[in-house]
Amino acid sequence: MSSGMHVMSLDLDSQVQLLSRIQFLTRFSSNLIPITGGEGAGKTWLAQRYLENWADASQQVLMLCHPSQSDAQHRAIILQQLAPNAVFNEHDPLLQSIERILGQYPVQLLLVVDDAHLLSPAIIAELWALVQKGQAEPDWQVNVLLFSHTGRLDKYLESTSHGQGQLPLEVEIPPLAEQEVQTFVETMFAAEPLDAQGRRLLRERASKVAPKPGELVKLEQGEHQDMANQTSRKPSPLVVMAVLLVIAVAAIVGWLYPSATNEVAGGVGQAQLDEALAEVDVTGTMDLSSNLAEEEQASPVEPEETASAGAVDTSADDSHNLPPEVSIEGLTVGRSETNQRVVVPSDVVDAMISEQDLGGSGEEAVVDMRDTLQPVLPEGGASEQPQAGGETNTVDAEPSTDTTPSQTSSTAVQPAPQTSVPASVLGEALTSVDANHYALQLAAMKSLDAASKFIDDYDIDSLASVYETRRNGVPWFIIVTGDYPNVVAARRAETQLPQRIQALQPWVKSYRQIHTEIERVK
């Protein structure tokens, strides 16, 4: 997490003073120093910070204690870091093993133990004996730093040093000052998009917790937990859009493509109905034709009528072209009568209508025009079969004469050569300053124009320097001044600044952190 990295690189006055005091106590003599503090006082961070930036010993050992570790494991961890290739017995006392491994060489050892309240009285006694050996030998310097909870080691240390006339030097980790708490919280939430009200609420929450780094870090965890809960309550816009899209697609598909089963069933039923009607028409017409033929044979007919009848018979003798008879016993289409349907020509119908208009019944018209009644096939009664050798008009699509493929550029567009000119990073001159020195940070702006305007408004062009950094991908322009060898000198120089600058409450910042922030731009 970027905020965690900012907090880890933050230098607070109380912690800097504590580390400098420990450095002074361990520089010229051998000591066993218990460094105590409550839960969340920052003991682990101080232990690692001291080894990284403050320790001068050539031989350094860091041991992180765990409740499940035994005395033999503690000895093995210390000796493996001190002499990785040495052969030792982890059940022997530490002093005996170190004398056997490094007895003929000068010893300058710094041993840092985190959660030292988990050590057994036997290991604490061995560490005390190791410090006593360092005080007795001129070529030995052994310093042991025990980071533990307050009051957890007092009983063991008193019993170990009883009767020797010397007590370990205990250092207490002080709580953070009010200004340090605000600086810590602002650094921790520097990358968070908080408005003025959000920062005010954050300061109120910070004032209600203990002024310890561990308690302040929990504020960030609680903030992220609240944000996660709020996010979980709101449905994702992408999920809502996806659901709506699926519903819309389903509706469109159902509208464009209705159920094919119903369509097929309905179509088959209609086709069967039409076929049945056509078959009934054909059968009825054939029956009528046969009845007329029987009547003609039974009655005498004149030669002219016979000739005309023969002509009619000849013209109507095309039954071989008709399809074979279809048996439709029991088939009725919406009719309950058993008689066959008779097709009457239109001229007979006209004669019947004319007779009825004159007051008759129309039967005489039927008798008079009986000879004209001929079997008539209904249209569509016989389905026309397509001839096998029939001509089919086919229109062949002419092939496109333009067979040239789409024009593509014969020569690829060559991008303009980019000349990489390394741009100088703003504030790169500050990287030449010693990383152990300190400066005063005056302000932090989000644009170079704002930083320049700030310098012009306060007339500090000759004092201030500007460098660029990145915080969560966003450029920031930091305004700093001075090059001081330590924190005390930086604080003293702050009082000599103009009153307008002092009103801004500048804070001390190490050049090591400045170098780290400049490197982010590169």
- pLDDT, tens only, 306-316: 444 444 444 55
The answer to whether 95 touches 129, Cβ cutoff 8 Å, is yes
CA–CA separation, 67 and 85 (whole Å): 27
CA dihedral (227, 228, 234, 235) positive or negative? positive
The predicted model scores a pTM of 0.43
pLDDT score of 412 more than 90: no
Residue-wise pLDDT for 329-374, tens only, equals 544 444 455 555 566 666 677 667 766 765 667 676 666 666 655 5
pLDDT, residue 479, reads 94
The confidence band for 452, taking pLDDT boundaries of 50, 70 and 90, is very high
Residue 276, Cβ density class (10 Å: 0-12 exposed, 13-18 middle, ≥19 buried): middle
Residue-wise pLDDT for 34-80, tens only, equals 999 988 888 888 998 898 888 888 889 999 999 999 999 999 999 99
The answer to whether 158 touches 123, Cβ cutoff 8 Å, is no
Mean pLDDT score, 432-448: 92
- Looking at every residue in the chain, the average pLDDT score rounds to 73
pLDDT score of 275 more than 70: no
pLDDT score of 214 more than 90: no
Residue-wise pLDDT for 466-512, tens only, equals 999 988 889 999 999 999 999 889 989 999 888 888 888 898 999 99
**Hey, is 480 helix, strand or coil?**
strand
The answer to whether 485 touches 461, Cβ cutoff 8 Å, is no
The confidence band for 400, taking pLDDT boundaries of 50, 70 and 90, is very low
DSSP class per residue in 170-217: -EEPPPPPHHHHHHHHHHHTTTS---HHHHHHHHHHHHTS-SSHHHHH
CA–CA separation, 118 and 152 (whole Å): 9
pLDDT, residue 380, reads 43
The answer to whether 149 touches 166, Cβ cutoff 8 Å, is no
pLDDT, residue 146, reads 94
Q: Is 289 left (phi over 0), alpha (psi -120 to 50) or beta?
A: alpha
Which domains occur in the chain, in start order?
Answer: 2-174 (3.40.50.300), 179-232 (no CATH), 343-373 (no CATH), 428-521 (3.30.70.1070)
Least confident residue range of 245-254, 287-296, 337-346: 287-296
pLDDT, residue 311, reads 44
